[in-house]
Amino acid sequence: MEEDAAARPVAGWRRLEDAILEPLLCSPPPAFGAEARRSLFAGLGGSAVLGLEPTEHYLNQGGTGAVIQAVAQLKELAGRLAEEQPMSYHRVIAPALMRRAREAAAAYLGASPESLSFVASASAGFYAVLRALSLEAGDILLTSSVRYHSFDDDLQQFAQERGVTIRTVDLPLPITSTAQILRGFEAAFAEAAADGSLGRIRLAFFDHVSSKPTVLFPVDKLCQLCRERGVPSLVDGAHCPGLLHWAGEAGPSDSVEGARLDVMRPDFYVANFYKWAWTPRACACIYTDPDAVDRWRHIASRKLNVTLPSVARGDSAGMETEHIYAGVYDESTRDYAPFLALPGALAVFRWLEPTLLRSYCFGLAAWGTEHLAEAWGTAVPVAPELATAMVTAELPERLLAAATRLAPAGSDRAVRPWHASIVRHPS
């Protein structure tokens, strides 16, 4: 009877989902470029709501992704369900559909559903892991100079409060190869082994695809490097669903198997679906390696609100999240709609033949980088094999000077933070 009660809302949602998506998925995908923008992202760049000046192109998909119109309709539909049957929605319907969404996310990323839990953003997952660390004065967190810049102030405050050291692997521009990145981390571990501090490194965290500058990291090899040294790894994969090729993509143009988290085996991996996979915003997940308990001696797993085995009890310690999936935790203030739209968003993404789409976008980005470098007389700061559909260009000095003149009025102390928000300096 309980299985029937859980199956009914899933079957009902599938029918509603099909009604919205089938007209789209039964037609040929649009041509990439202007046709796809017009047909999939109706209203993008418009001016109807606030009467603002219309814009022609949206290029900051890595900041926050545009949502495909049909997927936005799924989110709106979930909101209607919540209002029609509030108690049934939060106690029966949403938990069943959340389990379905978690299974879809796990299949896409190549992991077991039990190893994934949803969070609002990759940053939320990142901070959840940091909060779960049991640290003492003298402990070390290892990271790289190519990390998400918005973490920096919080990391410094965290280090001061806990009395720990942030040890940074310097990766100066230009970054010319995967080997350069690996050598940097190998040297950091070798130095720690030599000075006796290797055992004090409680966590190593690094990007899969960084944002400023944009670099594709050799994450599988870096995770292996950490495992060999008994150091837990946390990978910031904020940009990676959709941007990179994953196991759950299936299409006639795929010739190689995509990435799998259960092969890559980071201890923790955080990822956003709302950037390059076009889901509604606040749709992200955190992965935990189910076989890595022996490396979590300094991670208080009970503080993590995710599906995480408890070192002490050997069972699931992410009780709040697990109770949501089980339908026995009544949290009526949560908005599940972005997650419930995820399976539909992945279906639309596969329909567009992501390998071909990725090739198109990567080619445009590479052309743009080369065009700017030639026009400005600057170098390309990241090797082509480490580039994706997000790219980094080096600004000429004259443009930096112009930016200074356009900065908000005030002292140089006010200008520097303004620069930092738009430009990453090599230093």
In SS3 terms, 140-156 reads as: EEEEECCCCHHHHHHHH
In three-state secondary structure terms, 237 is: strand
**pLDDT confidence band for 416 (50 / 70 / 90):** very low
Nearest Cα to Cα of residue 272 among 181, 207, 320: 207
Q: What is the pLDDT of residue 319?
A: 36
Q: What is the pLDDT of residue 326?
A: 60
Rounded to 10°, the helix 319-326/94-109 angle is 110
Predicted confidence (pLDDT) at residue 148 exceeds the cutoff of 80: yes
If one compares 317 and 266, the residue with the highest pLDDT of the two is 266
Predicted confidence (pLDDT) at residue 293 exceeds the cutoff of 70: no
Q: What is the pLDDT of residue 309?
A: 35
If one compares 270 and 54, the residue with the highest pLDDT of the two is 270
Q: What is the pLDDT of residue 107?
A: 96
Q: What is the pLDDT of residue 128?
A: 85
Strands of 242-306 (E only): list them.
268-272, 284-288
Residue-wise pLDDT for 175-232, tens only, equals 999 999 999 999 999 999 999 999 999 999 999 999 888 999 999 999 999 999 999 9
**pLDDT confidence band for 327 (50 / 70 / 90):** low
Mean pLDDT over all residues of the chain? 83
If one compares 348 and 302, the residue with the highest pLDDT of the two is 348
Residue-wise pLDDT for 253-266, tens only, equals 667 788 999 999 99
Bridge partners (DSSP) of residue 246 are: 259
Give the predicted TM-score (pTM) of the model: 0.88
Highest mean pLDDT among 311-315, 318-322, 395-399: 395-399
Predicted confidence (pLDDT) at residue 159 exceeds the cutoff of 50: yes
With a CB cutoff of 8 Å and minimum separation 6, the contacts of 406 are none
Predicted confidence (pLDDT) at residue 317 exceeds the cutoff of 50: no
**pLDDT confidence band for 28 (50 / 70 / 90):** very high
8 Å CB contact between 236 and 268: no
Q: What is the pLDDT of residue 414?
A: 42
In this structure, are strands 116-119 and 140-144 parallel, antiparallel, or unpaired?
unpaired
**What are the distances in angstroms from CA 408 to CA 213, 220, 422?**
24, 43, 13
Statement: 113-332 belongs to CATH 3.40.640.10: yes
Predicted confidence (pLDDT) at residue 424 exceeds the cutoff of 60: no
In three-state secondary structure terms, 168 is: strand
Four-point Cα dihedral 296, 297, 300, 302, nearest 10: 70
Highest mean pLDDT among 159-173, 247-261, 300-314: 159-173
In three-state secondary structure terms, 309 is: strand
Four-point Cα dihedral 356, 362, 365, 371, nearest 10: -100
Q: What is the pLDDT of residue 192?
A: 97
Q: What is the pLDDT of residue 398?
A: 76
List the domain boundaries for the chain: 2-112, 113-332, 397-427
Q: What is the pLDDT of residue 411?
A: 44
